[in-house]
């Protein structure tokens, strides 16, 4: 998944990549740990534009992951997609202090730039990063998922379990029988 700089002409360059999720180390590691199983190939569409020594890349990543619902723990498939826009340079431009005109050291990250070496830009890290960013923080099979019963563990999607569940917040449930001794000497 490399982009050759010399292939980017005046009009720019548009490319489509299709890779197996196993080609991405981070996604493979997530699958091994059970954090997500990527079911379809990772499709990437990129548009590259070269402006002098700067290469701007706009792209979109799509795949499907099998995740565990954070409420009911059942597996479900979730389409993932995310867009990105990055600027790549071989070396950082000099930045000067506004007041004294002295050169100031600024990192590539602070400038919003990504450094690369040679005649190619490797997009593998960028693509796997975008897939990870597209993952939901709390995956839900549906927004209406009632989850599991706190007493018996039954999946409430299949109906009520018959347990006497207290409605409302359980944050202070441990303090419900707390007694304060007012007799202090």
Three-state DSSP class for 54? strand
- Cα dist from 20 to 12, 23, 25, 112, 183, whole Å: 26, 6, 11, 29, 71
Q: 52-66: buried (b, 16+ CB within 10 Å) or exposed (e) per residue?
A: eeebebebebbbbbe
Return the residue matching tokens 């005046």.
10
- For 89-117, the pLDDT digits (tens) are 887 766 666 776 666 676 667 667 888 88
- For 35-61, the pLDDT digits (tens) are 889 989 999 999 999 988 889 999 999
The set of residues, in sequence order, having a beta carbon less than 8 Å from that of 160 and lying 6+ positions away, is none
Q: What is this structure's pTM? A: 0.74
């Amino acid at each position: 998944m490399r982009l050759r700089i010399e292939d980017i002409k005046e009009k720019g360059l548009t490319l489509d990549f299709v890779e197996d999720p196993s080609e991405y180390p981070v996604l493979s590691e997530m699958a091994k740990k059970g954090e997500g199983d990527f079911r379809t190939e990772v499709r990437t569409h990129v548009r590259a534009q070269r402006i002098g020594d700067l290469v701007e890349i706009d792209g979109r990543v799509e795949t499907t992951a099998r995740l565990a619902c954070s409420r009911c723990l059942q597996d479900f498939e979730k389409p993932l997609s995310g867009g990105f826009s990055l600027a790549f340079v071989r070396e950082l431009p000099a930045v000067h202090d506004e007041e004294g005109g002295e050169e100031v050291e600024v990192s590539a990250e602070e400038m919003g730039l990504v450094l690369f070496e040679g005649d190619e830009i490797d997009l593998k890290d960028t693509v796997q990063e975008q897939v990870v960013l597209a993952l939901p923080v709390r995956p839900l099979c549906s927004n209406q998922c009632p989850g599991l019963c706190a007493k018996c563990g039954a999946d409430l999607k299949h109906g009520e379990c018959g347990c006497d569940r207290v409605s409302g917040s359980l944050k202070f449930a441990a303090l419900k029988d707390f007694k304060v001794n007012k007799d202090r000497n």
